[in-house]
Structure 1
């Protein structure tokens, strides 16, 4: 699978990779899982990898470098996209109760108003 590194720490030997299948992010940890020669992958690097999910964490395995700095703008684009989504309101009105057309499920399940007559006092029952 192909992926792009979106975060990296060479000193901690960790990286986060956005994968082409757009499933959960893959986490690269340790030089044992980085099969490529050269420097530790940096944000924007295009890599080839295998993944394995353990629990709820997706691990990147056998990571090899395809192209350095080929997608340098991707981490910024993803951060900007997240900020734009955070600024949008989470809730919005989608329909009003009185806007339900007649014959729909909502209007057909209403019970008709029932009027009950009270017995008059002193009347025979």
Structure 2
């Protein structure tokens, strides 16, 4: 699988990788997972890796550098993008039927306690 390093700390030997399958981020921990342990990846580097799920954490294995600094501006771009996200235009409101139980045994409170309505 191909990935891009989005965060890295050489001193801590940790990195976060966005993967082409757009699933969970992969976490690289330790030089032992690098194909060439002499070079620690930096943000923007393009890498090839294998991913392994352990519990609910995706670990990067057999990480090999494909291209250095393919996107050195990636961390800045992601930071700027996060700052421009609009607040969601949805709000939660209580339903008028909250707490009432239907005759057929269905709990109306469970089905209608919260209704998502467009804020306006």
Normalising by structure 2, report the TM-score.
0.70
The aligned counterpart of 2:30 is 30
How many pairs does the alignment contain? 91
Which of the two has greater strand per residue? 2
Q: Which residue among 47, 65, 88 is the counterpart of 1:90?
A: 88
- Structure 1 gaps of 5+ residues are 94-125
| Greater Rg over alpha carbons, structure | 1
Decide whether the 8 Å contact of 2:31 with 2:37 is kept in 1: no
Deviation of 1:37 (Å): 5.1
Matched, 1:4 2:4: yes
Q: Secondary structure at the match of 2:21?
A: coil
**Moved beyond 4 Å, runs of 4+:** none
Q: Secondary structure at the match of 1:66?
A: strand
Deviation of 1:91 (Å): 2.7
Equivalences for residues 22-101 of structure 1 within 5 A: 22-36=22-36, 38-85=38-85, 88-92=86-90
Decide whether the 8 Å contact of 2:46 with 2:68 is kept in 1: yes
Deviation of 1:42 (Å): 0.4
Superposed CA RMSD in Å reads 1.5
Q: Secondary structure at the match of 2:84?
A: helix
Normalising by structure 1, report the TM-score.
0.67
The aligned counterpart of 1:99 is none
The aligned counterpart of 1:110 is none
Which of the two has greater helix per residue? 1
